[in-house]
Amino acid sequence: MSGGDNLLKLVEAEGPDDQDYLLQEQVGFILRKAHQRHVSIFAGRIGDLTPPQFAALAKLRDVGETSQNQLGTMIAMDAATVKGVIDRLKARGLVELSRHEVDKRRLLVNLTPDGRAAIERLIPLAREITQETLAPLSAKEVATFMRLLAKLA
Amino acid sequence: MSGGDNLLKLVEAEGPDDQDYLLQEQVGFILRKAHQRHVSIFAGRIGDLTPPQFAALAKLRDVGETSQNQLGTMIAMDAATVKGVIDRLKARGLVELSRHEVDKRRLLVNLTPDGRAAIERLIPLAREITQETLAPLSAKEVATFMRLLAKLA
DNA sequence: GGAAATTCATTCGTATGCAAATGATATCAA
DNA sequence: TTGATATCATTTGCATACGAATGAATTTCC
């Protein structure tokens, strides 16, 4: 029996255990890196707005006036997070707030003319951001990846 | 010519443009949601440590003592971020810091016995986290997804 | 050797992201 | 009607995440 065999036995004795946990191969770690790369690409093309801020404007463009909480649900942000995002958009005059006349708890959010102009102007850039993010994949791979990613989200 | 035809004409006149930008179908948005889901799964299994903190400990286990900056590079964190993470791990006694004897700029980071015990204990849970995150996919889909995700990261 | 450029770490400011607690308003049910 | 629940929004506290500025130490290059 050779030394190599002994080493193999030792490794096998450990079983599929702690020894072979590689951080770089875990979904969570790679998912975090992929997300970082996307945010970086976004910042390179749209410097004056963050992805969450863009998401809020884009969704308001789709659905029109909604409550802050509903908007948060639609763009996957909890109440505390969406408040900060909307506050900053309001400070820049891109959205306007008003109280719901019937349900006084609700804070209605809507695009201002400036906000609408901004989102229309940015959407072509957002398309480029999507393209650049997916650039390492072929068209076929993009389709596959998006299908599987959607299952995980 | 019917009203429907007029509507169709209007839509076609717009071309493949702003009208069909759907936030929910953009990689960036879904990537963000998938990442959120993973973090949530992580928190459910490992409540007293965040993913970045876990990553730091896991990497130190792999490579042993390194400088703070080098560690940051290995786990994809910039200098400012890694400092905060290490500070909190140090405050909990899971890592210890020392100055590099030759290059006095470098701050060496290493696991304490407590830190080593913690990471060894957590690795099995981390495996479960990876599994649960990938649970919506079949084994074959997992292989495909990981291959494509790695290309994007 | 010494000036210039680089690297390592820290600090500051800004922006998510979420848990938990709180207050105001609505809704449901007894 | 009223008491219990639920919903909407806000606030606080903590933890990433990163750009930019700064200072200290090292390396490079002339």
Per-residue pLDDT of B35-56, as tens digits, reads 999 999 999 999 999 999 999 9
Does residue B14 surpass a pLDDT of 60?
no
Residue B6 is predicted with a pLDDT of: 52
* CATH T-level assignment (fold) for domain A26-152: Arc Repressor Mutant, subunit A (1.10.10)
B55 CA: distance to closest CA in chain A (Å): 7
Who among A42, A58, A148 is closest to B141 (CB)?
A148
Does residue B60 surpass a pLDDT of 60?
yes
Segments of chain A with pLDDT less than 50: 1-4, 7-10, 12-16, 18
Question: Coil, helix or strand for B134?
Answer: helix
Cβ within 8 Å, pair A31-B33: no
Name the residue ranges covered by the structural domains of chain B. Answer: 3-152
Cβ within 8 Å, pair B30-A153: yes
Strand C, CB < 7 A, residues 113-152 of A: none
Strand C, CB < 7 A, residues 24-43 of B: 32, 36, 39-40, 43
CATH number corresponding to B3-152: 1.10.10.10
B43 CA, C3 C1': separation in Å? Answer: 52
